[in-house]
């Protein structure tokens, strides 16, 4: 009985960790209504910074799609790519926000936005994305 309870507790903690990492991914990288002119506003309101600090991120990419559409990349809508990443089979519209004032700290982050359509490479845990690896120009 104790072993079963310990296993259940460990499984619960693992699922909670995956959920937390997926929620962070969604906060940092999914925004259907994003535009190149909203980088400062969205990054500030979502409190996006370098992990564990108030330092502004050099770049942050937003995927202009629903969470459900991006989740599908971790399943049948993606293929293995590089080391531990999954590449989307279809391109997504994205906005890349690049820091203009290097070395700045939150809340003084100022970004320039650029839009494009790219394949995305993400790290998945189970059926959910937890890390944005990169965007890819597909040349076949």
Nearest to 127 by CA among 63, 83, 88, 76: 76
Residues acting as catalytic residues: 29, 131
For residue 55, give every residue at least 6 positions away whose Cβ sits within 8 Å of its Cβ, in sequence order, or none: 49, 103, 104, 105, 106
Both tokens assigned to 129: 């994305």
Q: Are 74 and 129 in contact (CB under 8 A)?
A: yes
């Amino acid at each position: 009985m104790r072993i079963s309870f310990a296993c259940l507790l460990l499984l619960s903690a693992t699922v909670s960790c995956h959920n937390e990492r997926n929620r962070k991914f969604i906060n940092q990288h999914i925004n259907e209504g994003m535009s190149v002119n909203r980088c400062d506003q969205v990054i500030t309101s979502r409190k996006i910074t370098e992990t564990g600090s108030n330092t502004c991120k050099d770049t942050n990419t937003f995927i202009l799609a629903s969470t459900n559409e991006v989740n599908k990349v971790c399943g049948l809508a993606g293929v293995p790519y590089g080391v531990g990443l999954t590449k989307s089979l279809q391109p997504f519209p994205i906005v890349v926000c690049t820091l203009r004032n290097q070395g700045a700290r939150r809340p003084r982050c100022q970004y320039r936005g650029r839009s494009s359509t790219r394949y995305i490479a993400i790290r998945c845990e189970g059926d959910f994305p937890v890390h944005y690896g990169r965007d890819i120009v597909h040349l076949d």
